[in-house]
């Protein structure tokens, strides 16, 4: 099965900042071997398929047949030396780890699916009545509400406000035979500073809805983590849709930062030109969702 076309915004916290017993569970997962970052999307997909193919099937990955949690920790790891930092930012100590939080995110996605899908599709996709599925998934969301989810995801495209977090000059393209990865890493202090500034500018220019609301939510999400964490924006499975020429002309991060600067300066023409460029670039990829 092909990898899902999903992009990610992740937080890696110092292992020492986690409380017990999760710290020991994460340490054990690191000893067994962290998830390959090239394969993170496939790992999550595999967890979902295993839950659905179990006998009896599980509603969500990481739980027993009766809905109780059966934690299987997947973790990504990052060395602080791999994270660019500004003058007032620091990261670490290492190792930095990102728990993949599959059960909670799957529950949130299931609630969204139940709200958006038609009855025939829900009936075909679910092993239990829709109301039962919604009740169990909502219970998981409530149980995990006090813990910060370390991964946000977006299908088929990257939410443009996410690019505010990163330094446009720090994009990393990792290539190995048959696979490629595109991402940015940034220190938490730098990420929070950029989001706070962009939110203030957007609020004055656009009001409280749209991109401003996403920036507000992103800023509140970042505040839940250790101040010496790292943040990563990863194109994930979207790179499967991109050619080398697509990556060569991809100036999304530069364009988003230029839009913030132009809004602050009151340059509506620059805002319009940059936004049109972004819309044209990402519309091709987003349109493929409709074709699927």
| Torsion 214-217-223-224 (CA) sign | negative
- Across residues 154-165, what is the average pLDDT? 92
Q: Which of 36-40, 49-53, 200-204 has the lowest mean pLDDT?
A: 49-53
- Give the phi and the psi of residue 185 in degrees, each rounded to 5: -120, 145
Average of per-residue pLDDT values in the chain: 86
Assign residue 210 a region: left if phi > 0, alpha if psi is -120 to 50, beta otherwise?
left
Q: What percent of the chain has pLDDT over 70?
A: 92
Tell me the per-residue pLDDT of 5-26, one tens digit each, with 9 for 90 and over: 889 999 999 999 999 888 998 9
Q: What is the pLDDT of residue 86?
A: 81
58 has a pLDDT exceeding 80: no
| Per-residue pLDDT tens over the stretch 95-136 | 999 998 777 777 777 777 787 777 777 777 777 777 777 877
In terms of Cα–Cα distance, which of 177, 292, 173 is closest to 242? 173
91 vs 126: which has the higher pLDDT: 91
pTM above 0.85, yes or no: yes
Compute φ and ψ for 65, nearest 5 degrees: -60, -30
More confident residue, 59 or 84: 84
Residue 289 pLDDT: 61
Average pLDDT over residues 215-227: 95
Using CA atoms, how far apart are residues 139 and 59, in angstroms rounded to an integer? 12
Using DSSP, state whether 250 is helix, strand or coil: coil
CA 110, distance to chain mean position in Å, is 17
Q: What region does 76 belong to: left with phi over 0, alpha with psi -120 to 50, or beta?
A: beta
CA atoms within 13 A on the CB side of 287: 6
């Amino acid at each position: 099965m092909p990898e899902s076309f999903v992009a990610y915004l992740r937080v890696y916290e110092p292992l020492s900042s986690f409380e017990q017993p999760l710290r020991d569970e994460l340490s054990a997962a690191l000893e067994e071997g962290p998830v390959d970052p090239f394969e993170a999307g496939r790992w999550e997909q595999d967890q979902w398929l295993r839950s659905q193919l179990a006998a009896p099937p599980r509603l969500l990955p990481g739980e027993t047949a009766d809905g109780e949690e059966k934690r299987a920790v997947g973790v990504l790891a990052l060395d602080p030396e791999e994270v660019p930092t500004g003058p007032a930012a620091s990261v670490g100590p290492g190792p930095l780890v990102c728990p993949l939080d599959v059960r909670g995110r799957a529950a949130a996605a299931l609630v969204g699916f139940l709200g958006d899908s038609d009855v025939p599709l829900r009936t075909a996709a679910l092993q239990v009545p829709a109301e039962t599925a919604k009740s169990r998934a909502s219970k998981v969301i409530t149980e995990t509400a006090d813990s910060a989810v370390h991964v946000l995801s977006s299908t088929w495209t990257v939410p443009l406000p996410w690019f505010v977090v990163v330094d446009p000059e720090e994009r990393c393209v990792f290539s190995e035979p048959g696979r490629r990865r595109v991402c940015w890493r940034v220190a938490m202090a730098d990420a929070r500073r950029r989001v706070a500034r962009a939110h203030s500018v957007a609020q004055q220019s656009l009001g409280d809805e749209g991109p401003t609301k996403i920036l507000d939510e992103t800023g509140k999400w970042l505040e839940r983590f250790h101040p010496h964490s790292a943040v990563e924006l990863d194109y994930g499975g979207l790179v499967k849709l991109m050619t080398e020429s697509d990556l060569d002309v991809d100036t999304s991060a530069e364009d988003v930062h230029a839009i913030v600067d132009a809004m602050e300066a009151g340059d509506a023409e620059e805002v319009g030109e940059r936004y049109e460029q972004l819309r044209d670039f990402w519309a091709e990829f987003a349109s493929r969702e409709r074709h699927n």
